[in-house]
């Protein structure tokens, strides 16, 4: 990856990481599936009226919408409402890195270098350290649900690799269209249409600003850039960048939500950053050597 594309990857992970704090506050005012529904409503509309349908089979568009809309964000918001803290959620969801690499190796026969395996192992040790020492309030249901969300994200990444080069923003807009109906049905079924409408009409400006940021900043900018990177590079080169998400997420939770930041969290984040640095070192050398030719 070039230095420019690495900077884009870092920007995406910063957006995604700090986003967990915003979600936590918004969930105090809106039900999880209501928040998820609105997120994808504002991604799909009005963009589908201006961006033509991507030239890919409908099954990929529908599958991506369901995986990212319901499987990832619907479940993630549900778990974060009461069963897991923002910092821990930002950590567990990043197991998608290893799920993504595994799926692309199995399905697309992508290669993984020894350096990348070592880099992901070092980063994984950071994740393990947090698992062993975490003391945030969480439940088995919360952990399980976020793990399913991580697998859904990884499956969505696999679809991005399979469809090839397309207009990322058009693909996000049209796929989001298919996330809205099931999310809305779940929201109405679990809370009733009266409570859904009540939560929207009584939501503060902050909650609605969070919804807008979820649609524009987190989805269109974040996933738009991320999908572009996945088109250009292998999953083993791009996916490990997502390990920075829990670093930003846990830091933001510490600064804004006053979540504790003991020594072991600092060591764990150091391991994650070290693994990431090792992973991108090879890309930097390749870029420098190609530039010198």
Give the predicted TM-score (pTM) of the model.
Answer: 0.81
> Average model confidence (pLDDT) for the chain?
85
Q: What angle do CA 49, 207, 149 make, to 5 degrees?
A: 75
pLDDT greater than 70 at residue 29: yes
Residue 120's pLDDT is: 82
- The answer on pLDDT for 68 being more than 50 is yes
Task: Give the residue-averaged pLDDT of 209-221.
Answer: 88
pLDDT category of residue 284 using cuts at 50, 70 and 90: low
Q: How confident is the model at residue 44 (pLDDT cuts 50, 70, 90)?
A: very high
What is the pLDDT at residue 165? 82
pLDDT of the residue at 282: 62
Number of C-beta neighbours around residue 58 at 10 A: 10
What is the C-alpha separation between 121 and 150, in angstroms, rounded?
Answer: 18
Backbone phi, then psi, for 27, in 5-degree steps?
-70, -10
Which of the residue ranges 127-131, 208-212, 223-227 would you say has the lowest mean pLDDT?
127-131
> Which comes out higher in pLDDT, residue 284 or 223?
223
Q: Is the pLDDT of residue 57 over 90?
A: yes
Whose tokens are 């609605």? That residue is 208
Q: Is the dihedral of CA 235, 236, 241, 247 positive or negative?
A: positive
36-40, 53-57, 201-205, 262-266: least confidently modelled range: 262-266
**C-beta separation of 86 from 24 below 8 A:** yes
Q: How confident is the model at residue 292 (pLDDT cuts 50, 70, 90)?
A: very low
The answer to whether 187 touches 27, Cβ cutoff 8 Å, is: no
Least confident span in 97-101, 208-212, 287-291: 287-291
Sign for the pseudo-dihedral over CA of 149, 94, 14, 160: negative
Better-scored residue on pLDDT, 276 or 266? 266
Peptide bond into 239 cis (omega under 30): no
Which pLDDT band holds residue 105 (cuts at 50, 70, 90)? Answer: confident
pLDDT at 70 over 90: yes
Query: pLDDT per residue over 223-275, tens digit each?
Result: 889 888 988 887 778 877 877 888 888 888 888 888 777 888 788 888 887 88
- What local confidence, expressed as pLDDT, does residue 135 receive? 58
CA atoms of 25 and 230, how far apart (whole Å): 31
Give the C-alpha separation, 179 to 170, whole Å. Answer: 15
- Cα separation, 221 vs 201, whole angstroms: 27
- Report pLDDT for 182: 96
Residue 176 scores a pLDDT above 90: yes
The answer to whether 139 and 83 have CB atoms below 8 angstroms apart is yes
Q: How many angstroms separate the CA atoms of 27 and 164, rounded?
A: 35
Contact 161, 60 (CB under 8 A): no
Q: At what angle do helices 75-82 and 3-26 cross, to 10 degrees?
A: 50
Question: Which pLDDT belongs to residue 53?
Answer: 93
- With 0-12 / 13-18 / 19 or more C-beta atoms within 10 angstroms meaning exposed / middle / buried, residue 256 is middle
Distance CA 173, CA 187 (A): 21
CA 75/CA 33 separation, integer angstroms: 8
pLDDT-derived band of residue 283, with 50, 70 and 90 as boundaries?
A: low
**Tokens representing residue 204 in the block:** 């503060």
Does the structure show a pLDDT above 70 at 137? Answer: no
CA atoms 220, 78, 268, 125: torsion sign: negative
Q: Nearest CA to 236 among 119, 64, 67, 107?
A: 119
Question: What was the pLDDT predicted at 82?
Answer: 80
């Amino acid at each position: 990856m070039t230095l420019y594309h690495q900077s884009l990857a870092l920007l995406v992970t910063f957006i995604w990481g700090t986003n967990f704090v915003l979600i936590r506050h918004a969930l105090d005012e809106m039900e999880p599936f209501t928040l998820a529904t609105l997120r994808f409503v504002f991604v799909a509309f009005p963009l589908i009226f201006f961006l033509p349908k991507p030239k890919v089979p409908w099954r990929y568009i529908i599958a991506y919408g369901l995986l990212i809309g319901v499987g990832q964000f619907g479940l993630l918001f549900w778990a974060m409402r009461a069963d897991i803290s923002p910092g821990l959620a930002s950590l567990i969801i990043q197991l998608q890195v290893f799920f993504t690499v595994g799926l692309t190796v199995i399905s697309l026969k992508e290669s993984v270098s020894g350096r990348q395996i070592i880099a992901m192992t070092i980063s994984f040790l950071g994740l393990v350290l947090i698992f062993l020492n975490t003391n945030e309030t969480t439940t088995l249901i919360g952990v399980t649900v976020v793990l399913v969300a991580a697998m859904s994200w990884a499956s969505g990444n696999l679809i991005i690799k399979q469809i090839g080069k397309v207009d990322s923003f058009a693909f996000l807009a049209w796929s989001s269209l298919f996330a809205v109906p099931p999310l809305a049905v779940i929201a109405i079924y679990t809370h009733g249409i009266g409570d859904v409408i009540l939560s929207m009409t009584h939501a503060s400006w902050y909650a609605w600003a969070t919804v807008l940021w979820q649609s524009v900043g987190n989805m269109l900018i974040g996933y738009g850039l991320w999908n572009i990177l996945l088109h250009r590079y292998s999953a083993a080169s791009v996916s490990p960048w997502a390990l920075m998400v829990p670093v930003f997420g846990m830091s933001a939770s510490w600064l804004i939500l006053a979540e504790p930041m003991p020594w072991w969290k600092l060591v764990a984040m150091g391991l994650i950053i070290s693994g990431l640095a090792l992973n991108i070192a090879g890309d930097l050398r390749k870029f420098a050597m190609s530039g010198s030719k």
